[in-house]
Chains A and B, each alone.
Chain A
Amino acid sequence: MAWKSSPINDIKTNQTTITLLFNAFSNPKLGRWIIPGTGVIWFLGCFLLLKRYGLDTEIAAADSLVFGLVLVGGMIVLDQTFNYFLPKKENLGQIIGVPLILSTAGVLVHHYLLSWWYTDELEYLAFLQDTSYLRMGMLLPIELLLALLALVVAKLEGQEQLSKREAQMLQLSKDAELAQLRQQLQPHFLFNSLNSINALVGTQPQKAREMVLQLSEFLRGTIRKDPQRWISLQEELNYLKMYLDIERVRFGHRLIVEFQVEEESETVTLPQLLIQPLVENAIKHGLYGMTGEVRIAVAGKLESNYLMLEVSNPFDPESTSAEGTGFGLSSVARRLFLLFGRTDLLESGAHGAQFKVKLKIPQFQ
């Protein structure tokens, strides 16, 4: 019995075989009837067997009843013992010991009770004497089996609770990570924009006011009430345009962005803020990495069950090797993995002096 040390994966295979039983045991409605039910079946089986041996109906019934009660008593004790007390590796002997004691005691109780009750039935007493080892032989394996089952069920229940807790914790950390990944794109962009406003206030107050509004709109978008909700591509693109407007104030007319989005794909939905980091990445390598005019293209189309998005920017192969894929891409890849459990949704690479990022978003409808 290496339940404790075996990894969850190993347990899984066993789990399926025991799941049915486990469900019966852990289901409060069904589980309640398992012990009395077994007792009744046991009673009936013994009764019919004893009748076949030619015992008197009354005696057979009494014998079976007591034997059945002994079994039920044993089951209750075993169930309680192994549900609440899980033996450690070093005292696993209890799995054998407890049923052994219980079945011995059960057979003895049965023997003395019935021989006391039927003092005069000499033939039956002889039969009782003869069959006591047989009864022991029946009771012991069954109680052993029950002890094992009770132990397994208790373990599985514990396992189930553990994995439930683990799943909850995983979900929590996933949510936290997603939230963090969404927010990570902010600080330097925010502070640089504020600095631009600071500069504009003195020289072009009207433009400063405009930028304050743009920045507010953009920030409102990042702290939407329901960050888990999917938004339409159109919404995301509007948001993107807001972001680009701000960047354009910061970098003047060096930045040119082209959108090529099929109309039919504009209503398609996608997780929020997935494209923005890609464009931010394109800007980082295109605009921050190069001097002169920079043209960034954003294309979107529907292909079978995917929304295909492509962001491309020119880059300087010499200086861009510096940061490789950069944080923006890896954070998007991580988010895609957390959302869809797949790693093949984001592709990136250089094509000549163009850097292209391809994003696939599965559409479930």
Chain B
Amino acid sequence: MIRTIIIDDEPLAAGLVQEFLADFPQFEVLEICQDGFQGMKAIQKHKPELVFLDVQMPKITGFEMLELLDAPPAVIFTTAFDQYALKAFDAKAMDYLLKPFSQARFKQAIDRFLESREKESPAEPSDPELNQLAEKSNRLVVRVKNDIKIIPVAEVNFFEAEDDYVTIHTSAGKYLKKMTMKVLEESLDTGKFARVHRSFIINLNGITGIEPYERDSYLVKLRGGEQIPVSKTGYSRLRQVLGL
């Protein structure tokens, strides 16, 4: 049996996927979830092979949910928005079903999944770099143990790189998210954040002072009292955005 989960906030839409899937007896629908929170928990619990995923949903989007998973399952997106197709492709989606879709088109998606399943099992862990398409966003979704936290980007004081992860420092606490600095930097508003160091991106709003440190390097003081090292290129970038 192929373990499957359907995530869609519209019961009718989820019902349709289930109905179409009934033609393929090898699939077993373990749970139907109505939002990304539930979806994430169900995926962690059932470890499904295939997920049918809507994009626009309550609380967090389908993409945000995928970001939170360490080993995302194969995904077939089902959405009425065609503008996510590229992003879905980057997220290594198995297929992208545009609502409303026909039974024939649905079968095609299933065939594609079955084909790739035969070829390469188990599913290769996806490259986080490719998994996250930089998109301007004003919030970050992180996982705190088994819960999900949504952090408005404006509340972030600074980001610190740690191997494959980024530590998000806010006044309320710090959070770990699996992503690269490069992707993060591209997703942030250049007028509000600046990468001042290989491992640091700071919120320009929180700067209280800049002072020279060693030769060719500086320290930025933030409102919270933190001192962030600034590299030579980081300093020139900072001068540029601050208009010094």
A and B found bound together = yes
- Contact between chains at A188 and B80 (CB < 8 Å): yes
Shortest distance between the CB of A194 and any CB in chain B (Å): 4
A130–B35 CA distance with the chains assembled, in angstroms: 103
A288–B56 CA distance with the chains assembled, in angstroms: 8
Q: Which of B53-69 contact A (CB under 8 A)?
A: 56-60
Q: Chain A: how many interface residues by the 8 Å CB criterion?
A: 29
- Contact between chains at B10 and A196 (CB < 8 Å): yes
Residue of A nearest to B18 (CB): A199
Is B81 at the interface (CB under 8 A from chain A)? yes
Is A251 at the interface (CB under 8 A from chain B)? yes
The contact of B139 among A188, A194, A203, A321, by CB within 8 Å, is A321
Knowing A194-B99, A195-B80, A322-B139 are in contact, say whether A200-B35 is a contact too (CB < 8 A).
no
- Contact between chains at A203 and B15 (CB < 8 Å): yes
Residue of B nearest to A252 (CB): B11
Knowing A198-B16, A203-B19, A250-B12 are in contact, say whether A319-B100 is a contact too (CB < 8 A).
no
Interface string of A280-313 (1 = CB under 8 A from B): 0000000111110000000000000000000000
A292–B11 CA distance with the chains assembled, in angstroms: 13
A96–B57 CA distance with the chains assembled, in angstroms: 74
Knowing A188-B80, A191-B100 are in contact, say whether A196-B13 is a contact too (CB < 8 A).
yes
Q: Which of A214-265 contact B (CB under 8 A)?
A: 249-252
The contact of B80 among A191, A199, A200, by CB within 8 Å, is A191
Interface string of B76-110 (1 = CB under 8 A from A): 00001100000000000000001111000000000
- Contact between chains at B58 and A318 (CB < 8 Å): no
Interface string of B30-55 (1 = CB under 8 A from A): 00001100100000000000000000
- Contact between chains at A250 and B10 (CB < 8 Å): yes
Q: Which residues of A contact B58 (CB under 8 A)?
A: 287-291, 319
Residue of B nearest to A198 (CB): B100
Knowing A196-B13, A251-B10 are in contact, say whether A322-B138 is a contact too (CB < 8 A).
yes
The contact of A195 among B9, B59, B99, B150, by CB within 8 Å, is B99
30 sample A-B contacts, Cβ–Cβ < 8 Å, listed by A number:
A191-B80, A191-B99, A191-B100, A194-B100, A195-B10, A195-B99, A195-B100, A196-B10, A196-B12, A197-B100, A198-B101, A199-B13, A199-B16, A199-B19, A202-B19, A203-B19, A249-B12, A250-B12, A287-B58, A288-B57, A289-B59, A290-B58, A291-B35, A291-B38, A291-B58, A319-B58, A319-B150, A321-B138, A321-B139, A322-B138
Extra contacts, 15 of them, besides A191-B80, A291-B34 (Cβ < 8 A), are: A195-B99, A196-B10, A198-B100, A198-B101, A199-B16, A199-B19, A203-B15, A250-B12, A251-B9, A288-B9, A289-B58, A291-B35, A321-B150, A322-B138, A324-B138
**What are the 7 tightest A-B residue pairs by CB atom distance, in nearest-first order?**
A199-B16, A191-B80, A195-B99, A195-B100, A199-B12, A198-B100, A196-B12
Residues of A within 8 A of B (CB): 187-188, 191-192, 194-200, 202-203, 249-252, 287-291, 316, 318-319, 321-324
Residues of B within 8 A of A (CB): 9-13, 15-16, 19, 34-35, 38, 56-60, 80-81, 98-101, 138-139, 150, 152
